[in-house]
Amino acid sequence: AQSVSQHNHHVILSEAASLELGCNYSYGGTVNLFWYVQYPGQHLQLLLKYFSGDPLVKGIKGFEAEFIKSKFSFNLRKPSVQWSDTAEYFCAVTSRNAGNMLTFGGGTRLMVKP
Amino acid sequence: GAVVSQHPSRVICKSGTSVKIECRSLDFQATTMFWYRQFPKQSLMLMATSNEGSKATYEQGVEKDKFLINHASLTLSTLTVTSAHPEDSSFYICSARDPGAGLNIQYFGAGTRLSVL
């Protein structure tokens, strides 16, 4: 069974600091990878996704993620965070062998101090 | 992106009553919808996959008689929590797969916070 691990449960940063959130998955086959964001009181929104091609994926609001197959990782990055980035971030994976079911990581709660 | 509407956003009910939660895809037809449950400070756990015109597929450990799912049209799926008890209190989130956006893209509703007294 596929699984997703997010190592940082809570992250606190000051504005303009750089961000990197870790995500590792367990499945060894072909996967599709996602980062979702949930702002306070709002629904989950897709930040970015990786299906194939360039392993460095750029998403909305200045976020990017790099797929490193050898490390089974898909870390999320942003060079300079803003207070408005305060939210919970979820990494997720699907694979054909798992029936394209979306499996979520435990989430990382990011707080950006102004 | 596509919009998924979930209603109600919050419901409080007495123990033993049933609660229905609706999930609608507003600008696309969703042959497949998903129901998730999120416990406090935890991730989303898939409860069931709802397929239009057929029975839902439940994940292991999810009681199908407790959580009734109906996907009667291409834009509407409902989750009914039957005979709710305090342990059913949770945040329920639906999502819908937009075939036009690619096989694995899901769009999420805003969630329903259920509190059972």
Q: Over the stretch B61-89, which tens digit does the pLDDT of each residue have?
A: 999 999 999 998 899 999 999 999 999 99
**CA of A26, closest CA in chain B: separation in Å?**
17
- A106–B43 C-beta distance less than 8 A: yes
Give residue-wise pLDDT tens across range A6-46: 988 899 999 999 999 999 998 767 889 999 999 987 888 88
Over the stretch B49-60, which tens digit does the pLDDT of each residue have?
998 888 899 998
Query: How close, in Å, is residue A105 to chain B by CA atoms?
Result: 6
> Which of A15, A9, A6, A12 minimizes the C-alpha distance to A33?
A6
Q: Could you tell me if B38 and B44 are in contact, meaning their C-beta atoms sit under 8 angstroms apart?
A: yes
β pairing state of B44-51 and B32-38: antiparallel
* CA–CA distance, A13 with A34 (Å, rounded to integer): 23
Measured in degrees and rounded to the nearest 5, phi and psi for residue B101 equal -100, 0
CB contact under 8 A, A102 and B108: no
What confidence score (pLDDT) does residue A72 get? Answer: 93
Task: Name the nearest CA neighbour of B86 among B10, B13, B20.
Answer: B13
Say whether B103 and A46 touch across the interface (CB within 8 A).
Answer: no
3-state secondary structure (DSSP) of residue A60: helix
CB contact under 8 A, B108 and A36: yes
